[in-house]
Structure 1
Amino acid sequence: MASPVAAGHPPQQIRFCRAPDGVRIAWAVHGSGPPLLISTCWLSHLQFDWESPVWRHFLVDLGRFATVVRFDERGHGLSDWDVTDHSLEARLGDLRAVADAAGFDRFALMAMAQGGPVAIAYAAAHPDRVTRLLFYGSYSDPLRESTPEDLELEAAFSQLIRAGWGREDSTFRRVFTSQMIPGATEQQKTWLDDLMRRSVSATTALLAREQRLRTSATDLLPSLSVPTLVLHARGDRMNGFGDGLHLAGAIAGARLVPLESDNHILLADEPAWPVFVDEVRRFLLADGAAGGTVPGADALSEREREILALAARGRDNADIARALTLSVRTVERHLQNAYLKLDVHGRSARAAAVARLLTGA
């Protein structure tokens, strides 16, 4: 499986921006294709995620067909650690700062895990910028329909963070790891155990968790009118499948894709992973390189759209072939088929095909 590194491109570019309250936020961009901004999940470290047996396949596979922008949440990873405000307003400011720094006028927005309320609030406030909305293992309210037993469990988790998060011994952190990736190998679990301590201090982990539990964006769901895809593992132990059902039912026109897995973080070798990748790819490329109704575009195959999207970013046939693990001759054949379907001919056919998809002309 080729990666962006193997295709001759740097794995990612790490940059920094300032949130409205001055907190420095680390963000990164990699891949090629339609822009996809990820509303960050609980644990991330832009540098170490590239070495991860748990996260690397997300980065490599999404980068095959999308320009992926992601960031470390305030208080985490390469972002400023000395932070006490983890409110929805503050986190929304972080997302706005990253979206502006990335420079895309319009983009798809993916909410992972606790990134849901922030993504919902952003999409509601900026409907002109969000082309598509995706949720993966996420929610609109972490305590929606919670029972007294659920609240007791949350209190127990807080005690575990206080007692054991910063210890060299990973016994306490393994409780969270076992919820996130119960089907993982020991190597993968050990890596996630270590990521927790590398990503955030015990003080911030506890403070951020307590403030996130008081965050809800449920009231904003009926106002969303953007195409929406909800992906959720049936056996997710961190955020139950009911959270995905609720999102899909509350957002007009949303589509739910149940993933046959018990893992909150899908692993590369489980059957649900290629389902996730294919659903996201189809969803992002459904409108071609850029939206708009183009004569002949409906007849294009998924692969033809994918190749034209890469061509739109200036990549030549050899580069496209390496990125998609194809031969140059296969890329040329797909392009020729696309030219016929779009009714463009001659030496300028490539430029004409790309321009028609980009402008809708």
Structure 2
Amino acid sequence: MTDGVFRFESFDLDVIRGRLSRNGQPIHVEPRAFALLCHLVQNRDRVVTKAELLDAVWRGRFVTEAALTTALRTARRAVGDDGSRQRLIRTLQRRGYQFVAPTTPGPAGAATGSGPTVSVPGPPARSRASGADREVIRFCRARDGTRIAYAVSGDGPPLVRTANWLTRIDVERTVDMWSHWFDGLTRDRQLIRYDERGSGLSDWTSPGITVEDWIADLDAVIDAMELDRIPLLGVSQGGAVALAYAAQRPERVSRLILAGAYARGRLVRAADDNERDAAAVDLDVARLGWLTQDRSLLRFFASQFQADAAPERWDEFVALQRQTTSAENGVRFLEALAHIDVSALAHQVRCPTLIIHSREDQRVPVAEAAKLASLIPDNRLVLLESRNHLLTGSEPAWAQFLHHVNSFLAA
């Protein structure tokens, strides 16, 4: 079916413009869920199988059924439905799904409201219409010639997020574990993020994966954007890179945010034989999981990042990792991160710094946040009530995180 607009209950779904609105008010829907909703509505006269939805929405990419479950739940939530009521989207056991609400097709472009455009996933290099939904992916070269992919999203003052564990900028905003970060950080702001060498859309073949190489990647992006002084956000491993960059390029960094960050890798910070043994086992499990692609081992690794998330979130994490780099590069990253140590640079950071950390972080202990606070001269330490290394969008700590980040950047 090729109709452009569909009306059901108080909703208008504009397939052509990529908009969903209710009573004229725009509703933001992450792109995968939007694509799923469009496919179900356009084929509402029949049952759509899981296989068809996976093919239509992910276009041949390997994903687990957990990703489909997540997108389905997000689509239902956007139209005020859920898996219990199934008022609009019905699950037919062992058959598939069907959109069952009475629907009236309308002419293309007729939907009311002028809210943000939500684009159905397409080719990696794309631009969106306006505001937070406008995203452009570009490429630049680091000083050694390595090609680095970076994305520019939203409007307003810039915020640069350093690359962290295995990103892929063309898909991360479509998965639950990262989509709320994207939405929250692009509100009235221009967010700049990139894939570091060895992962994502950047070159996978690079002779070095060191802090100096990662700093060169960040230099290349900031140079390409022709930015002067910028606030820098480092999450997890990206915190070590952001800290080192702020120390070595003080003229380029106005403010520094370290979220779930550390200055010392797990093998470096191990204080005794027991901690060294635990760090070595953790590295071996992760390394073996990457080399064998053993789901149970990869799931164990994923669970450390979102300890309180549902198992399907771990599967989503595993599926995203598989899209980001090769097994060989994954092992190289793991070993580099276990041995990272930028603690000697911390006292050289001169800009105001916000250190924000989950009190019961299961991947990076809160003691590492306290260590950073003891080393960086001008800092504020905020501890959030969470067990998650990467905060989920549904927990109270996420709203608190955004509040502290926005207040810090506005100061």
Fold conserved (TM > 0.5)? yes
Correspondence for 1:101:
224
- CA displacement 1:69-99 (0-9 Å, x = unmatched): 1111211111111224111111111111111
CA distance in 2, matches of 1:43, 1:75: 9
Could you tell me the TM-score, scaled by structure 1's length? 0.75
Correspondence for 1:285:
410
Equivalent of 1:237, from 362, 385, 410? 362
CA distance in 2, matches of 1:254, 1:234: 17
CA distance in 2, matches of 1:206, 1:127: 32
What one-letter code is carried by the residue in structure 2 that aligns with 1:257? Answer: V
Equivalent of 1:28, from 130, 136, 151? 151
Question: C-alpha displacement at 1:166, in angstroms?
Answer: 5.1
Question: C-alpha displacement at 1:145, in angstroms?
Answer: 4.7
Equivalent of 1:208, from 333, 347, 351? 333
Unpaired segments of 5 or more residues in structure 1? 287-361
Equivalent of 2:381, from 250, 256, 259? 256
Percent identity over the alignment is 37
Find the residue that maps to 2:176 and give its secondary structure: coil
Work out the number of aligned pairs and report it.
286
Find the residue that maps to 2:330 and give its secondary structure: helix
Correspondence for 2:281:
156
Unpaired segments of 5 or more residues in structure 2? 1-26, 30-115, 119-128
Taking only aligned residues, the RMSD between alpha carbons, in angstroms, comes to 1.9
Question: C-alpha displacement at 1:235, in angstroms?
Answer: 1.0
Find the residue that maps to 1:175 and give its secondary structure: helix
Correspondence for 1:306:
none
- CA displacement 1:37-86 (0-9 Å, x = unmatched): 11111121111202101100000111003211111121111111122411
Correspondence for 2:306:
181
Q: Does 1:17 align with 2:140?
A: yes
Aligned residue runs from structure 1 range 35-46, under 5 A: 35-46=158-169
CA distance in 2, matches of 1:162, 1:212: 12
Tell me if structure 1 keeps the 8 A contact 2:130–2:154.
no
Question: C-alpha displacement at 1:105, in angstroms?
Answer: 0.8
Tell me if structure 1 keeps the 8 A contact 2:290–2:331.
no
Aligned residue runs from structure 1 range 248-327, under 5 A: 248-286=373-411
Question: C-alpha displacement at 1:179, in angstroms?
Answer: 0.5
Aligned residue runs from structure 1 range 107-118, under 5 A: 107-118=230-241
Question: C-alpha displacement at 1:208, in angstroms?
Answer: 1.8
**Which is helix-richer, 1 or 2?**
1
Q: Which has the larger radius of gyration?
A: 2
Q: Point out which structure has higher relative CO (alpha carbons under 8 A, 6+ apart).
A: 1
Find the residue that maps to 1:85 and give its secondary structure: coil
Correspondence for 1:137:
260
Question: C-alpha displacement at 1:106, in angstroms?
Answer: 1.2
**Which is strand-richer, 1 or 2?**
2
Which 10-residue stretch deviates more, 55-64 or 206-215?
206-215
Tell me if structure 2 keeps the 8 A contact 1:39–1:70.
yes
For the structure 1 residues 5 and 284, does the alpha-carbon distance in structure 2 shift closer, same or farther, using more than 3 Å as the test?
farther
